[in-house]
Structure formats: C-alpha cells, structure tokens
Chain A
C-alpha cells in the first residue's frame, strides 16, 4: 500500500506535468529572453534590464496600451449588453428547453469556421461598395458612401463584438440557468416591474457570470493582434501586433519584455475584477 502522501502526489502529478511543460516552461523562457541583450549582429544571453527600459520609455508603448484598452472597454461594454440580453432571452423567454439549447447552439455556429473567415465576411457588408453603403445610397439616405464603416475603429469594434460576444453569453447563460424561477414570482408578488426584477434580482445573481465573461472578453481583446490589423486596414495597432512586428524583424528580447509587461498588466486587470466580485464565494454560496 502506498502512503496517503504518495497517493496524493501521484494524483496531482499529471496536471502538474502538463502545467509545467505547457505553461511554466514557455513563460520562463519568455521571461529569460526578455533579459537578453541584442544588437545589430545578434542576440546574446545576458541579464540586462535594457529591454524593459526601452519598452517603458517608448512613447509608443503608452499609445498602444491606451488604444488597446479603449478597444477593450468598448468591446466589453457592447458584448456585455448584447450577451446579457441574448442569455436572458434564451434562459427566461424560450419556454421549451430543447429550443433554448438549439438556439444556444446556433449562437456557436459562426465558430465552426475560422476567425479569419468571420472577419473577412464583414468586408462585403461594410465596404465602400458594400451592402450597407449601396443600400443607403439606393434609398437616397446618403449620397456618398460612409467611409467610417470599414477599415476604421468602428469596423474593429464590430468585428471584436461579433467574435467575442459568445464568450459573454456562455457564462451568463450558465449563471442564469441556475436562478430559481420562483424568485421571479416572488419578485412580481412584491410588485417589481420587469426592469426592477432584472436590476434587483437577475443582475446580482449573475454577477459571477458577468465577471467570468468580462475576463474572457477583456483578455481576448488585450491579446489580439490580427483583428485590429485586418479590420482597421493596417491603420491601427495593438500591443500584441507591435510584438508581432518586433518578432518579424527578429527583435525577440524586445518583444519578450513587452510580452512580460503585458502579462503583468492583464494579471493586474483580472485581479482588480476579481477583487470587485468574489467569484469563488458567489459560486459556492448560491448552491
């Protein structure tokens, strides 16, 4: 017989190995490279803070973060509003559970294809000669095509919202499904309006879902580099797309320092969100 300690260790081992190989080692590698020295001739292993100094002193860094954070905030806002109502509709208004699950699967249909395709499919809709502009001109609402529709902040946000709303819907759908329906009757017995019921009962009870969805959406936007590239027509960059540029000219240490800095920022953001709502307590208490 194995002792209890050994058995516990054996049970923990597989996951520990996976995390070590696929998480700790790559991150450690990135952290190590971020301290390397590089010049015109190549990369030299070293322990030098110069890459961090460069990242932190560049004006570009602040611009990139501000721009990415702005996208993150906008996308978070729209995915939250849309995701909340879609989940609300699916959970509380579709009476037949089979239909609700079917509609929920329909929400995931766009994910059966690649992100690139989903992004590119906006082009014929938003383009200068696209469906919207042609339609509006045809109706006589406008005379010249609207320029802001494509290759602009607008199209970037539309694309992000399209890609990421599902990540808000899933956790909200899950938290809403756990709400006891009799609470709605109790609320209407107490005389609440529909809006009051949502504000006083539903929102507080799906807080953990909102937090999880927000973390998904915000980290996805913070880590994106190609949506912003493609949908802004190359006129906008993000923190990660700048790293991509570094890497394409072999500036690995600079990119690594930037990556470590981004990880720290995102961890801080998630930490702040989790500080605002104790997800673990929410999940445990409501059972």
Chain B
C-alpha cells in the first residue's frame, strides 16, 4: 500500500493538566519513507509531538493521520509505530534476545518463531555475540542497538526516535548517526527523530522541522533550513548565520535598501515580502560568505559591510572562526553585539589577525537574506 508511512498532523494541540501549552496548533506532513527530524530547544514541544504520534500522550485537539487513517485514540501497538526511548527503556531482567522478542511475546507469537525473528534482527544490528547478555552488561552504544532492534522487530511503518543519540559520547554519536540513516534507507520506513542538536538534524534528515514554543518555525530540507532560514529564530538557532537589522530606507523594485546605524546601506532582495518604508527588518548573512579585511579608518563603513575589532579567534581545522565586537553594537542581534566570520584556513594564515585588530566584514548583496519577524528571545548557541 503506497503511503502507509505518511504522517499528517492537522491542527495538533496539546495542553497539559497544569495549563502549559506544549504544542500549539501544529500542521505538518511527512512523506512516506522519509527521515524527518524535529529540532528545537528543550521545552519546544518536539518530544510531546513524538509521544502523541506514538500514542503515549493524547492530543487535546487535532488529528494525527498515519497512512490516511486518523490514529488518535488508538493504542500504540495498533498504530504501526514503534518508539525508541531516550533512556532506551530496555527491560533490565530480560536478555538482549528476550528484549527484542518482547513485542512478539506480547502478540502471542510462539517461542521458536519469535526467537527466529529476534535473531534475524539481532543479525541486522550486529549483536549476535551478545544475544544472551542482560542490558546492564552492555555499553551505551550496544544498548542503543538493542533498543533499535526491539523497535524494528515488529516491522513498523513509522519509527519514532526520542533523542536517540543524546546518551552517547561524541565518537559513538557520529557512528550511530550514520547507522541510523543507513538503517532507515534499508528499511524504507518513515523515521521521526527528535533532537536538539542542529548538526545531527541536518546530517541525517530529509526534512528538518525547527520548532519553538510549541509551533513550527520552519520545515524544509536540511539545506533549506541551514542555508535559507526563513526567520531570525531559525537563523540564530541553526547557527552559521549572522542576524542584522536595519530600517527600510527605500524599496526600489525587488531590492530593499536598509539604512545601517553608521550611515552605510544594506542591500538585499525583497523576495515575496514588501516591507514598508521606515520599518525595521532583519536579515541574515552566512558566516562563511563574508570577506574580512583590515580597517583602520573611522567613519562610515562601505555598503553591505560592518566594522569592528577582533574579539576572539578560534582555530577549527578546516576554517578559522573570527568573532568581531561590532563598532555599532546595536546593529547585530545575533548574540548581543557579535558578528562571526568563518575564514577559510589557507586564506587566514596568509595574513593572520590578532585580537583587537580593526576589520571590515563585507558581503555580496545576494548573500543577505530577508528574515520574517523580529529577533526571538533567548540565545541558542
């Protein structure tokens, strides 16, 4: 059946008994067989959405449609979903094999058959040597594989992963990340993966959904989210962008001309929006699309540029992260008064900058992107 793993959330709303609204009217479509990441800071409602899809939480309002059928009110096992829990929730008294065979046992499958099925999945996640161990005797990475195997043994149409990599160390995290992606391709089922790590989301997902305070800020491809953020919140949350603001001086045709605070102008494409004259708008500039040059003069910087002094330099291997303290503090809203530039390593060491050096950071007009809304409160890293 085509589209069995397609998920549509329609007007999904959840208010907890204590009155907090965790999910505030979410509409989302996830294609069958795609890898979708729900991304956001803690408390943004992403886990609540996942738990509602799984059936461990009941929506206050709205529909959850899986494969064309509204599943609200159905028990978890009837939804064709399987969940991988953040803490793995392995049964401590059962061996790896029994943990994996558990849901088959609950369904009344005979011992021989459920062990055969379990062993097939154990093979798939490369745990054959550990099949008769107890969870307490496994490392974190091994426990995670058991949790994955337990979730896929019933051949679900949707796999729900709640922060699956958060308990692992950095090295294992990268390894499991690619294994998850591989597993998803192999199984061809829909994965919904909740995370608060930006790089994790863009690395694995076909579709990234950035959330804030119970609402979806932006949902698009990984590249779309990272390179073309729609709002100041997404730009700031994803990192890799500087968010600046300016008042609209004039809007000749498709190009906006913003007045900078020190007399310079910022030019950017208006796209579909047409802000009025005098309105303050926000725009983003990618950190790795900015040129740095030494700048010793006072006075107004050139157009599409800001000036400041080097505040910090961090070597990152393939690039150098240069943080500027802006001369016009009120311009930047990204992390108070900072402006960050990623300079290609080779270029940087041709003429290395020192802390305190005056610089001008400039960009091409088409690298600036108009953002919706104002700066969101809170400062994600």
Contact = CB atoms under 8 A, between A and B. Distances in A.
A175 to B, nearest CB: 12
B191 interface: no
B204 interface: no
Given A190-B102, A191-B76, A191-B107, A185 B93 contact: no
Interface residues on A, range: 10 to 19
Given A191-B77, A205-B93, A286-B92, A185 B105 contact: no
B85 A285 contact: no
A182 B92 contact: no
A189 B91 contact: no
B107 A201 contact: no
B155 to A, nearest CB: 13
A196 interface: yes
A190 B77 contact: yes
A275 B166 CA distance: 40
Contacts of B85: 182, 185-186
Q: Of A191, A196, A200, A286, which is in contact with the most chain B CB atoms at under 10 Å from its CB?
A: A191
Contacts of B83: 185-186, 189
B221 interface: no
Contacts of A124: none
Given A183-B89, A204-B93, A188 B76 contact: yes
B106 A187 contact: yes
Contact of A183 (B77, B86, B91): B91
Interface in B69-104: 75-78, 81-83, 85-87, 89-94, 102-103
A94 to B, nearest CB: 15
Interface residues on B, range: 20 to 34
A88 B83 CA distance: 25
Contact of A201 (B55, B78, B82, B91): B91
A200 B102 contact: yes
Nearest to B107: A191
A258 B28 CA distance: 77
A187 B94 CA distance: 13
A186 B89 contact: yes
A98 to B, nearest CB: 15
Contacts of B78: 191
Nearest to B153: A190
Q: Of A189, A200, A201, which is in contact with the most chain B CB atoms at under 10 Å from its CB?
A: A189
Interface in A175-203: 180, 182-183, 185-193, 196, 200-201
A172 to B, nearest CB: 16
Contacts of A193: 106
B150 to A, nearest CB: 8
A262 B105 CA distance: 44
B134 interface: yes
A189 B82 contact: yes
B87 A182 contact: yes
Nearest to A184: B89
A205 B134 CA distance: 13
A188 B57 CA distance: 12
B56 interface: yes
Given A182-B87, A185-B89, A190 B106 contact: yes
B248 interface: no
Contacts of B103: 189-191
A205 B93 CA distance: 7
A209 to B, nearest CB: 13
Interface string A202-217: 0011000000000000
B136 interface: yes
14 contacts: A182-B85, A182-B87, A185-B85, A186-B83, A189-B56, A189-B83, A190-B77, A191-B77, A191-B107, A200-B105, A204-B94, A285-B92, A285-B136, A286-B136
Interface of A: 180, 182-183, 185-193, 196, 200-201, 204-205, 285-286
Closest 5 CB pairs of A and B: A191-B77, A190-B103, A186-B89, A182-B89, A192-B106
